[in-house]
Amino acid sequence: MAKPADTRTAGRKPAAKATAQATRSAAETEKIRAALAARRDELRAEYDQTLSEITELQRDRLTDSAGDDQADTGTKTFEREQEISLANSIRERITQVERALERLDEGGYGWCERCGNPIPVERLAAFPSATLCVTCKQLAERR
Ligand SMILES: [Zn+2]
């Protein structure tokens, strides 16, 4: 003896679909975390490498600058500045990846800012700072 209202509540509601869109499986989250961590380690190694190159350039400049003419000194200074700006940009990328890892823990990472869909794991691995899914990114670029 169910009332018509009860029958309606028991009917098919698209609740399951809505939930599926707003969650990402734990396995996927782990995949993203691993990709981000690997990227961070790569960048850190690159950063250390760049720093030791800077130190080397600096040492060269101090030890054998006596025999250099002005052009040599200028080249070395330029090289060193290049290395420093490279180191800075690597450090910035490390910060981006670390921030992404924090947001991943909070559950706020990897969602398209425009349409709210999850950004595919592969895309996040390649571009840890991606904030749009491929479709929205393409739409944004076309404009
Ligand atoms: Zn999107």
CA distance 67 to 114: 59
Note the pLDDT tens digit of each residue in 42-59: 999 999 999 999 999 888
Beta-ladder partners of 118: 111
Across 68-96, average pLDDT: 88
Query: How far from chain centre, in Å, is Cα 94?
Result: 8
CA distance 122 to 133: 11
CA distance 93 to 47: 10
User: Which residues neighbour ligand 1 (ion) by CB within 5 Å?
Assistant: 112, 114-115, 133, 136
Average pLDDT, the chain: 82
**All structural domains of the chain:** 25-142 (1.20.120.910)
Does position 119 have pLDDT exceeding 90, yes or no? Answer: yes
Does position 4 have pLDDT exceeding 60, yes or no? Answer: no
Tokens of 85: 């700006």
Q: What is the distance in A from the centroid of ligand 1 to the CA of 131?
A: 9
Task: Using alpha carbons, select from 41, 43, 36, 33 the residue that is nearest to residue 93.
Answer: 43
For residue 14, CA distances in Å to 7, 17, 93, 128 come to: 16, 5, 40, 32
CA distance 70 to 114: 54
pTM for the full model?
0.69
Q: What is the distance in A from the centroid of ligand 1 to the CA of 111?
A: 8
State the pLDDT at residue 92: 95
For 68, the 3-state DSSP assignment is coil
Q: What is the distance in A from the centroid of ligand 1 to the CA of 137?
A: 7
Q: At what angle do helices 26-63 and 70-106 cross, to 10 degrees?
A: 160
Residues of the chain with pLDDT > 70: what percent?
81
Give the residue ranges of DSSP H helices in the chain: 4-10, 15-22, 26-63, 70-106, 121-126, 134-142
